[in-house]
Amino acid sequence: MGDDGRSGPLDHGTFRGHPGPTRYRDVACGRVDGDWTGRSVQLAGWVHRRRDKGGVKFILLRDRTGLVQLAFEPEHTPQRVMEAASSLNPEDVLWIRGDVESRPPEAVNPDMPTGAVEIRVREMEVLASSDPLPILVAIPPGEDLPSEELRLRHRVLDLRRPELQRNFVVRHLATNAARAALARQGFLEVETPFLTRRTPEGARDYLVPSRIHHGEFYALPQSPQLYKQLLMVSGFDRYFQIARCLRDEDLRADRQPEFTQIDVEMAFVGEDDVFAACEQMLVDMYAVTLDRAIPVPFPRMSWAEAMESYGTDKPDLRIEWRIHDLSEVLGGRGFGIIDGALADGGRARGIVVPGGGSLSRSRLDAINDMARAAGARGALWLKCTDDGYSGPAARAVDETAGARLQAEYGLSAGDLLVLVAGPDSESSPALDVLRRQLGTELGAAGEGEHWIWVTDFPLFEADPETGAPAASHHPFTMPVDVTAAELLAEPFAVRSRAYDLVLNGTELASGSIRCHVPELQRAILEVLGMTAEQVDARFGFLLEAFRYGVPPHGGFALGLDRLIAMMVGVSSLRDVIAFPKTTAARGLMEGAPSAVEADLLADLGLRLADAGGADGD
């Protein structure tokens, strides 16, 4: 926010609730509009900027609602107050009383909600003064932000920036809209425990030692998955919760050890019912918060189609290009790389890149490297020109092939063809990367939001290291049309009733119709390598509950942090979480985690295993 207050970022039309008068103020700073002219007001806020102009001093006073200009003039302001104003520092906290006056016409600022008035100050009290600032709040336009580490350390000051505060207003509004939309559809918000039983689901649990029961531990919830299913068995019919979840994962730049999901479960439903509930919620969130309509129902695409045409289960449909199977067109023409891949049971798949002939030679040379970085053995390209074909794959294109590429796949002069030959497990990720990377470079990504439900996931996928079956989504997903015996015999052939909601290539939500048949559930857990004893030890309470009348049910969990980040247009989750952790899972402001006294550990029946220990910083 510059001196001109042009961004007024928190004066949000749909945010009707705003702070009212209190003992220290008659009105919030950003709400002193023309209606107040001629009245005496008391105000309170922070010194945003000070400006001296001749004998007059101007101060922009700031609170969450915006800025208002204070004027200290010798004619109206007592000498004592004039002097005190001279020594004010940025971020001092002021109380003032003064008269609201219209600004002279030449001084009116039409871009600032309070730009038609100023306050002639008569009384002032410094409620709290500020030491020199380690990072600025009022950052001049065009100036870079301080480093993120410094800003996280001084998070309290960074959070005063109006740009950041706006994110939390949006988060508040969007979360409220989600709650209201779900409540209207008959969902009850029910709180589930934080001190739970450890039920290994994939990621690592955070553990909490019990002081009363030495040697026993609670686990913090990775999600309320089992509790929400149990609520369905309890007849709650429709549940939701804005649920904090915790996972002790090795962190990446875009992960946080704790995150928030909109967690939803419904009884007596199929996919259509779950999708409709989720869509209605999102429609309301966008309408209330951003005054924007999103088109529903969202289109659906099977996992198989997504993998075939986009090489990924989260296709970014802003880029229209699709992956084609060119095995038949290009195979058997004596081009070794292709023929060899086909002979090994692989395929030759490719993307037509319209206008891709304009890419520089160095960019073209990078294509092979990009494919290798994504796990393929390499990629080939060819340019289509008026004079024929050039590039590493040109040899594979004879006259017949060229005619088919033009007729069936639209390849024409100026275009590029990118090819990957090999098994789908290599070509899909490579072509996914190439599609997104080249699409971005060539400006092929359209505007707007492309929502899509991806459905019919396989129930299991092979663990990349061991090849053993692992749950594609999670182990509580209903398989499609299969008996327990069939599932055990051929697990990789089983499809599931799992689905993802994808927005512009980002997986926002994930869910499934759950397995409510105990013997199928046991078979799934057996495929995952658990013995009957392990199943009983870990999930016995779920399977026990299923014995007494379990309704068909399903639901989803939507990542709220990521959705809000996309709504406000920031890339880092740390910009939509008030007190985030670093990638080393540290809270830099408060200094967490921290060492504790040995007697506290003794109370918990624990000792440190070693004095040193790995430090991940």
Q: How far apart are CA 534 and CA 544, in angstroms?
A: 14
Long-range contacts at 148-156 (CB < 8 A, ≥ 24 apart): 148/574, 149/582, 149/588, 152/574, 152/580, 152/582, 152/588, 152/589, 153/588, 153/589, 154/589, 155/579, 155/588, 155/589, 156/589
Position among 8, 11, 25, 477 found at the interface with a second copy (CB under 8 A): 25
Position among 39, 51, 211, 292 found at the interface with a second copy (CB under 8 A): 211
Site for a second copy in 299-328 (CB under 8 A): none
Q: How far apart are CA 36 and CA 38, in angstroms?
A: 6
**Residue among 38 and 540 whose Cβ is closer to a second copy:** 540
Indicate the length of the chain as a whole number. Answer: 617
Site for a second copy in 41-80 (CB under 8 A): 44, 46-47, 62-65
Q: Please, what is the minimum distance in Å from the beta carbon of residue 390 to a second copy?
A: 52
Position among 27, 28, 419, 527 found at the interface with a second copy (CB under 8 A): 28
**Residue among 25 and 324 whose Cβ is closer to a second copy:** 25
Q: Is 551 in the site for a second copy (CB under 8 A)?
A: yes
**Residue among 253 and 611 whose Cβ is closer to a second copy:** 611
Q: Is 529 in the site for a second copy (CB under 8 A)?
A: no
User: How many Cβ atoms are within 10 Å of 503's Cβ, its own excluded?
Assistant: 21
Q: How far apart are CA 315 and CA 450, in angstroms?
A: 9
Q: Is 607 in the site for a second copy (CB under 8 A)?
A: yes
Give the binding-site size for a second copy (rule: CB under 8 A): 137
Q: Please, what is the minimum distance in Å from the beta carbon of residue 186 to a second copy?
A: 4
Site for a second copy in 559-578 (CB under 8 A): 577-578
Q: Give me the 75-114 binding string for a second copy, x by CB under 8 A, dash otherwise.
A: ----------------xxx---------------------
Q: Is 253 in the site for a second copy (CB under 8 A)?
A: no
The span of 253-261, 311-319, 439-447, 489-497 binding a second copy (CB under 8 A) equals 253-261
Site for a second copy in 149-208 (CB under 8 A): 155-157, 159-160, 165, 168-169, 171-172, 175-176, 179, 183-198, 204, 206-208
Q: Is 266 in the site for a second copy (CB under 8 A)?
A: yes
Q: Give me the 117-136 binding string for a second copy, x by CB under 8 A, dash otherwise.
A: ----------xxxxx-x---
Q: Please, what is the minimum distance in Å from the beta carbon of residue 548 to a second copy?
A: 5
CB proximity list for 392: less than 8 A, separation 6 or greater: 380, 381, 382
Q: Read out DSSP for 81-127?
A: HHHHHHT--TT-EEEEEEEEEEPPGGG--TTSTTTTEEEEEEEEEEE
- Are the beta carbons of 564 and 572 closer than 8 angstroms? no
Site for a second copy in 407-426 (CB under 8 A): none
Q: How far apart are CA 61 and CA 41, in angstroms?
A: 14
Q: Six-digit token pair at 160?
A: 């005063």
Q: What is the H or E stretch that residue 369 is in? A: helix 361-373
- Are the beta carbons of 277 and 226 closer than 8 angstroms? no
**Residue among 239 and 381 whose Cβ is closer to a second copy:** 239
Pairing of strands 238-246, 188-189: parallel
Q: Is 24 in the site for a second copy (CB under 8 A)?
A: yes
**Residue among 485 and 584 whose Cβ is closer to a second copy:** 584
Q: Please, what is the minimum distance in Å from the beta carbon of residue 399 to a second copy?
A: 54
